């Protein structure tokens, strides 16, 4: 997948430096806090667009169809896979999840930055297709006890579901090794600031700055 630029190199007048879009992925064991971090990042960054996944999992109290997820049945999910409408997809905790391709491509075409809350399987698939445009962050909980406490405090899943997610947490966490960055979510404000720092540094990567050559040439011409 190629990510277009949000600003073309300058015509007449002073050269401008633009930015390529990027794909910022947050993954973690369930309950470590990535959804909370993602929501705050969206509030802070108007250039960020959230990728809204499809899922076959039942809606939780308070969730809104089309905002938190597109809630679909298994048949529709299989159809989307068959029609190649998903950029990546995976089975997680017995349910099916996937990233619709079209909204991501549209947002990238406008040079926007896309935020993904997906698991390690989805991250691996995105990396296979667009490694250069991917920035991946793994969020760890401070402790196993705190992870369980957060899952209960969220009060949205049954004890059985929580036990299932805790049982998978160790395996999930083993994938931290494949990520570009790893943060430990002790305090939400610090974690959001850390992800913000990552985003700002990644924007400054040379390959993501468009029109640098023209800008430097103009600087040199003025010497």
Ligand X SMILES: Nc1nc2c(ncn2[C@@H]2O[C@H](COP(=O)(O)O)[C@@H](O)[C@H]2O)c(=O)[nH]1
Residues in binding site for ATP: 28-35
Q: Which of 45, 85, 121, 194 binds ligand X (CB under 6 A)?
A: 121
Residue 31 interacting with ligand ATP (CB under 6 A):
yes
The reply to whether 92 sits near ligand X by the rule CB under 6 A is yes
127 interface partner picked from ligand X, ligand ATP, none, CB below 5 to 8 A per type? none
Residue in 57, 168, 175, 203 binding ligand X, rule: CB under 6 A: 57
Per CB under 6 A, 111 contacts ligand X: no
Report, in Å, the least distance between residue 184 CB and ligand X: 17
Which of 8-47 are b and which e, b meaning 16 or more Cβ less than 10 Å from the residue's Cβ? eeeeeeebeebbbbbbbbbbbbbbbbbbbbbebbeeebee
With tokens 């991250």, the residue in question is: 123
Whole-number Å distance between alpha carbons of 95 and 175: 20
80 touches ligand X (CB under 6 A): no
Tokens 């089309």 map to which residue? 66
Regarding 133 and contact with ligand X (CB under 6 A), the answer is no
The three-class DSSP label of residue 16 is: coil
CB atoms within 10 A of CB 184: 15
Residues that bind ligand ATP in the complex, under the rule CB under 6 A:
28, 30-36, 150, 153-154, 185, 187-188, 191
């Amino acid at each position: 997948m190629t990510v277009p630029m949000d600003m073309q190199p300058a015509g007449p007048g002073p050269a401008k430096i633009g930015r390529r879009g990027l794909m910022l992925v947050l993954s973690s064991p369930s309950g470590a806090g990535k959804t909370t971090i993602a929501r705050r990042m969206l509030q802070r960054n108007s250039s960020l667009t959230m990728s809204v996944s499809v899922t076959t999992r039942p809606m939780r109290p308070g969730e809104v169809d089309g905002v938190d997820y597109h809630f679909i049945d298994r048949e529709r999910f299989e159809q989307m896979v068959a029609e190649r409408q998903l950029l990546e997809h995976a089975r997680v905790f017995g349910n099916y999840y996937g990233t619709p391709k079209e909204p991501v491509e549209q947002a990238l075409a406008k040079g926007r930055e896309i935020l993904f809350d997906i698991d390690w399987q989805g991250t691996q698939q995105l990396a296979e297709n667009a490694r250069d445009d991917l920035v991946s962050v793994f969020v760890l909980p401070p402790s196993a006890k705190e992870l369980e406490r957060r899952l209960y405090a969220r009060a949205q899943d049954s004890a059985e579901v929580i036990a299932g997610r805790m049982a998978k947490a160790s395996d999930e966490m083993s994938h931290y090794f494949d990520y570009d960055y790893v943060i430990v979510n002790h305090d939400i404000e610090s974690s959001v600031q850390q992800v913000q720092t990552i985003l700002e540094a990644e924007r400054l990567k040379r390959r993501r700055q468009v029109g640098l050559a023209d800008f430097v040439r103009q600087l040199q011409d003025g010497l």
